[in-house]
Structure 1
Amino acid sequence: MFNLIKNEWIKYFMRPATWVMLTLIVLVFALGIMLERFTTGETDRNKTYGENWRTEVQADIKDLNARVDKLSKKDMNNLSFKESITLAESQQELSRLSFYLKKDVQPPAMQNLYAYLLDTSPLINLVALMVIVIAGSVMSREHQQGTIKLLMIRPASRLTIFFAKYLFVLLTSLIFVVFTYGISMLFGLVTRAHNPTSKLAVTDAETGDFKMVEFWPLLAKVMANDLVMVIVLATIAYVLSVLLRNTAAAQGISLGLLFLGSLIVNFIASKTELVKYIWPANWSLNRYITGLPAVKEMTYGFSLSYNIIALVIVVAIAAYVFNRRDIAN
């Protein structure tokens, strides 16, 4: 099986298209850094605090209050774009600094490394898109190019071939997710202020207020949740490539689920709570951290269990079909 996985690795990671995808991820981060220069208000987003941070924070809170009061006295309809951004950032920074002071924790800069790493999660849809493109062609390309017959004459069984390719899909999902967060870490280390402690104030999804958390366990959970989502979508693409034997169809249906899944879930959620039994309502586990689930009564454990069971079922069906299918034609 190792040689089969290695063969897939050589086929896909020696292709320019795969490296173009990875380069695109780097360019997205670089472009994001460049655009920040045109959308930053007057708030000192990179300011850090020293040993007398309590006194410094209190002084900043006083200055921010004065700035907010000054801008709030103006007609909101006549504020310039930059003034509107400055007002929003000042209000957010005022709440953030007040919360850190209340918790007696030294606050990081507004643009800090930890917050930047957490902001990587929304890019997971782009990562999923790239993995879908690869996973949707792993098996169907063999049929379309006629190389599936060459695989069948190998001493490995059909199930060995099937699961070797599926393990390659899982490995690719892991590589792309880790690569994305690794690039985020590199850009963050260069462009963001480093945090003074491992504690970070984040917005509570349910109340909208700040809450204090330990950063590294939170980041590990966010990354694991992102990996689960990518694996789910990659598995769907791979299973479709096995069942349909058509790359365009497998990729097209999977991409449709990626982009339209949340819209469908939100529409059904407005009609019935039975939406929780639909797979797309469960594959984004970060809804429980950065947002709200489709139905309030849904739990993290329910969605995780749903994903595991669904993955086992669809992979088992695809393995059975592949093992029994006649490939003579």
Structure 2
Amino acid sequence: MINLIQNELIKIFRRPGTYVMLGLMVVIIAIAGATMKYNQGTFQNEDPNWKQDLQTENEALKQQMEQEAGGPNDSSQYYKESIALNEYRIKHNLPPLEDYTIWSFVNDISQMIDFVGIFIITIAAGIVASEFNWGTVKLLLIRPITRTKILASKYLTVFLFGLFTLTLLFLLSSAIGAVLFGFPETAAPYLNYQDGTVTEQPIWLHLIIFYSLKSINMVMLVTMAFMISAVFRNSSLAIGLSIFLMFTGGQVTMLIAIKYEWAKYILFANTNLMQYFEGTPIIQGMTLSFSIIMLLIYFLLFLFLAFFVFNKRDITA
């Protein structure tokens, strides 16, 4: 299995397109950093009355929460979270505005995860379909290796390449952010709100968790692209459909969720696990465990279809 994965990685890194994609990522991060440095520089919190401002904001939030209580647009959970975070900042002397530093830049660059996802989807969509298009699939199958191992090695290769690309994104944004914006003298913690309690989390740990959770949507779409590639042997279909759903799946699901509760069973209603830590679920009553179960079901379904069809297909046909 290890030798198969090594061979697949060699194939990926022999393609000029791989280096073009990685080069584009480096250039975009550098341009984004230079643009932010030129236009924004560092933000300084110079408001000495920030505690009073937060107290005033809390009073307004409490009034708004009372007005909307029990109504169709009840957002009491959001108001409770905002009030609790503001009170915690006041009590522990944590101003809401801070200098723009390396961690701010790394957080902003996380928006590129979807952009990186396009690269990984392209790899996943072609890693099986290209073997059929080039006729090299027969050379793979004449070896004394099962089809399951061959396909598993290809999926693990895609997964490892995706992990490598995401790690590179995080490290590059950290390096460029450190050079352009520097480290804070004292890194302000990230404030977590869970079940009415506010806790502090080191900002670097929060960003690693944030990147991981934000990558779930990409992982599911990459797995779907891999499945389409294995089932239909069509990389164009896999790339087109996966990228289309990447940019429209969430919005369409939100529109359906406004009217129908069954929308919670749609894949894209569950890919954003950050909704359970920052904000509210897309449909009332959804829980973190429910979304994890739904993601596992979709994940296993995609892999089952890929392996089942690949193992049963008549290659000579």
Q: TM-score, normalised by structure 1?
A: 0.77
Specify every segment of 5 or more residues in structure 2 that has no aligned partner in the other structure, as ranges.
53-84
- The alignment yields a C-alpha RMSD, in angstroms, of 3.1
**Number of the residue aligned with 2:122:** 133
Deviation at 1:4, TM superposition (A): 1.2
**1:295 alignment partner, SS class:** coil
Within the candidate set 241, 249, 256, 1:261 is matched to: 249
Whole-angstrom CA distance in 2 between matches of 1:195 and 1:101 = 21
Within the candidate set 288, 311, 315, 1:300 is matched to: 288
Whole-angstrom CA distance in 1 between matches of 2:267 and 2:86 = 40
**Number of the residue aligned with 2:60:** none
**Number of the residue aligned with 1:69:** none
| Aligned partner letter, 1:236 | M
**Number of the residue aligned with 2:314:** 326
1:45 equivalent in alignment to 2:34: no
**Number of the residue aligned with 1:270:** 258
Q: TM-score, normalised by structure 2?
A: 0.79
The answer to whether the 8 Å contact 1:198/1:216 transfers is no
The answer to whether the 8 Å contact 2:102/2:181 transfers is yes
Q: Tell me: CA distance 1:254–1:205, structure 2 relative to 1, closer, same or farther (3 Å).
A: farther
Q: CA offsets, 1:233-284, max 9 Å, x none?
A: 1111100000010111111111111111112112111211221100111122
Q: Tell me: CA distance 1:318–1:258, structure 2 relative to 1, closer, same or farther (3 Å).
A: same
The answer to whether the 8 Å contact 2:37/2:180 transfers is no
| Aligned partner letter, 2:42 | R
Matches within 5 A, 1:141-290: 141-201=130-190, 212-290=200-278
Whole-angstrom CA distance in 1 between matches of 2:35 and 2:242 = 31
1:61 equivalent in alignment to 2:61: no
1:311 equivalent in alignment to 2:287: no
**Number of the residue aligned with 2:34:** 34
Percent identity of equivalent pairs: 31
The answer to whether the 8 Å contact 1:205/1:290 transfers is no
Specify every segment of 5 or more residues in structure 1 that has no aligned partner in the other structure, as ranges.
48-56, 66-95
Deviation at 1:200, TM superposition (A): 2.5
1:25 equivalent in alignment to 2:25: yes
Aligned length: 284
Whole-angstrom CA distance in 2 between matches of 1:238 and 1:283 = 18
**1:137 alignment partner, SS class:** helix
